[in-house]
Chains A and B, each alone.
Chain A
Amino acid sequence: MVNNTPNDSFPTPTSQLQLETEEVLAKHLPPEDSTVKPCLQRNNHLRFLLRNLTQGFPIRYVAQDASQPWLMYWILQAFSIMQVGMDPNNKRRAIDRMLACQHPGGGFGGGPKHEAHLLPTYAAVCALAIAGSPGENGGWDQIDREKMYEFFMSLKQADGSFTVSRRGEVDVRGIYCLLAVATLLNIITPELVEGTPAFIASCQTYEGGFACASFPFFTSEPGTPSTLLSSPRPALGEAHGGYTFCAVASWLLLQPFNSSQSYPASINTRNLLRWLIQMQGNDIELGGFRGRTNKLVDGCYAWWVGGCFSLLEGLDGGVPEESEPHESVHDEKAEDGDDWVDEDTSSDPWNTDALQEYVLYAGQHPAGGLRDKPPKSADSYHTLYCLAGLSAAQHKITPDTGHRKALEALWQPNPDTSLKLEGAKEKKVLDDDLRREFYTRALSWNEDSRKKRVVVGGNENRLNATHPLFNLTATHTDGIMSYFYGQPAPPSRARPDTK
């Protein structure tokens, strides 16, 4: 018997909606008979995505007309997570489609001839990481990094934040997109990220999660330059799953820079963990994640919240026992694909089994594609983020000291890959040590083979791992980063993610 969330005989609109949702979800609860295994309907989902890719999107997607690179990224990355590659012809068409969105002034727009915007810039660069390669028609060398950097700098605000576009809003989604792209393409400089860690930290709310932005107050003494006050600096909006993912991933991407500062910014990790844990729904909600306190569970938070638990492993002082090197590939028993276990040895603080059940039992639309919750229809956004969340629940990905040492050993100082920028050198160029740190930290994430998780439904449901910071596979992250940092191919990981 699975209980409904108690309303203490004090019904309100929130508890009413919650109850209605629980009544629907109750019809999707795992069957009592535990021999029936849930199955990931891979072929259905692939067909759904392929239909979007080749035939296109129905008219209701007109709201995504300014998010065209996202439509491409959601499809391509969902393919990658399901271990499906693309043929050269479709790769070329995907590359052309993304490059058509590049803005002459730098960055990418939501469609051809749209203004540049940080969100589609991330989506386009990630789609190019998946489909592209170096060379004349490969898409990578056609990204104008100098112009992109100018575009990024033009968005920078006095409080360390960035607007998403010219005259656009400030929020941590845009900052995450900027930092992910700047890290992938090797265009981070001290002047670009100055003040950004403190901005991110100021978005953490009393609940522990992060809000979309914060409000800056400045001193206003006549005749003196105004300076940013550290307090008050209130978060605008409540703690939210999507913004929390973006803030925490940004925080990690900024770590090499932040820890090199005399007064590094800090966040409250304990409250963050508590809030993330509280976002997991109860049994009646099949252990799916919600995005805010007292809101409904939604499949996309499988990634936005579920994906944060990997990120926590990368926080300084996060989990001490993780600091030893992972086992190497040779110690692994099971390379024949029969390595799933019935017993969880991961010592994770969150319920990875329950999240997998939510995605498998409630997230899959019978006609293909994945969704927010029943009885909603599937869409490409939910298809990717349900799958990415399912992957995050199957694979324990942590920073691997051993892999990082291997990357450091191969590191070659390669100043030619830095941007050619005019101006004060110390502001414009990342010194080689720091550049190496950005590179090796970002690529050090690896599956922890000592900590086994249950793959609910069995190994047929196993997906590719996805990089906790970028939501790209390790192969695609390694490929694009080693190219733009001028580094040799990274050493193989203990468990290659692409067969």
Chain B
Amino acid sequence: MEQETPLYADRPEWADVTPLEQHENDQPLAPIQYTVEYKDATDYFRGIVKIGEKSERVLELTKDIIDMNPAHYSVWQYRYETLLALNSDLEAELKLMNDVAIEHLKTYQVWHHRRLLMTRIRKPVPELKFIAASFASDAKNYHTWSYRQWILAHFNEDELWKEELDFIDHMLNADIRNNSAWHHRFFVVFESGIRPGETDRERILKRELIFVKQNISLAPNNPSAWNYLRGILEHESVPFSKVIDFVRPYSLTHDPEATGDLVDLENPPPSKEAALPCPPAVEFMADIHEAQGGSDGVLKATELWKALGSEHDTIRKKYWDHRIREALKTIQT
């Protein structure tokens, strides 16, 4: 389809620009074997930069190169400066770049360009919708998530924040193991300031504990959820022992006596299909015992670390040994 477009070198309307080769010598070490089209367009780009032209045709040229190589930051930079110089319609630019963003999700420049545009357009609500849609093709895209967080923090409007928890629920319902969504929840609830209606932090902590416990009960071997549990307790300076009744059943084999009839919202039990004991729970119990201190606590913790190293989590045996050594130091006098 691209073959229809003639090379810049063959287009009369570009005849006034002198193309500039990249290399001054013919045989550079470690060259890239460019296509004719790419070499042609970048030769003209270098020619344009040299004369400093900022015009509509520069927008066409830079878009062409971006389609071939979206990581060419110098081209993006020049394009952005051209847009400003021409006083272009930046919302049209944002729209034009939607397809580029979806096609090249993993490219830094694609998202950074949007950020530059957004600081001027200042209409974050539709942008959140665009981001949400882009997760359909890659639900863990790092740039997209950090860009979403930037939008929220930069514009910092209550209207933006208010639907984030629903959005996170939606993402975690699609994949309870999506760590990006878990991190986003931590960002929204604990790290980016306190918004109206969230000043009762005890209530918020309680809500989050129930949320994470329910998620752990659905799929206990999910490190994202355990890390979230650890994270919120540490953030709120709540000792791990506060959730010992919840964690203990996950650190043991299945309890044949357990009846599934009683529903305890505070302490949802592991599902019957769960693979138990689950290593993050065993680790968690060991941390509780270690924090309790004294030789009794350290010995209980040591038993669990030994079990992790020899049975449940053998790849990390040396780490569990390290934990044992460090803990023993605290009781040797």
Contacts and interface: CB of A to CB of B under 8 A. Distances in A.
B316 A277 contact: yes
Contacts of B224: 293-294
A239 B142 CA distance: 10
Nearest to A15: B177
A14 to B, nearest CB: 4
Contacts of A67: 71
B36 to A, nearest CB: 11
B105 to A, nearest CB: 13
Interface in A192-250: 205-207, 211-213, 215, 217, 232, 234-240
A262 B201 CA distance: 33
A72 B69 contact: no
Contacts of B241: none
Assign chain B's interface to a size class.
35 or more
B314 interface: yes
B203 to A, nearest CB: 19
Nearest to A207: B227
B316 A8 contact: no
B235 A206 contact: yes
Majority SS of interface residues in chain A?
Answer: loop
Given A10-B273, A234-B191, A351-B318, A66 B69 contact: yes
Contacts, number: 225
Given A113-B46, A206-B186, A292-B179, A57 B317 contact: no
A1 interface: no
Interface stretch (A88-96, A335-343, A396-404): A88-96
Contacts of B175: 12-14
Contact of B177 (A9, A14, A282): A14
Contacts of B153: 215, 217, 234, 236
A167 B116 contact: yes
Interface residues of A, number: 81
Nearest to A283: B315
Contacts of A235: 187, 191
B123 interface: no
Interface in A109-147: 109-115, 117
Nearest to A270: B326
Contacts of B325: 347
A211 B73 contact: no
Contacts of B228: 206
Nearest to B29: A93
A412 interface: no
A44 B329 CA distance: 48
B183 interface: yes
A235 B31 CA distance: 38
A97 interface: yes
A232 B191 contact: yes
Nearest to A271: B234
B22 A111 contact: yes
Contact of B30 (A13, A59, A71, A354): A71
Interface in A395-448: none
Contacts of A59: 32-35
B249 interface: no
Contacts of B77: 115, 165-168
Contact of A13 (B42, B174, B235): B174
A380 B81 CA distance: 33
Interface of A: 5-10, 12-15, 52-54, 56-59, 61-68, 71-72, 75, 90, 93-94, 96-97, 100, 109-115, 117, 165-169, 205-207, 211-213, 215, 217, 232, 234-240, 271, 277-278, 280-283, 287, 292-295, 347-351, 354
8 contacts: A14-B178, A62-B35, A65-B32, A65-B71, A207-B231, A211-B146, A237-B145, A349-B318
Leading 6 A-B pairs by shortest Cβ distance: A206-B231, A9-B273, A6-B275, A238-B183, A14-B177, A237-B146
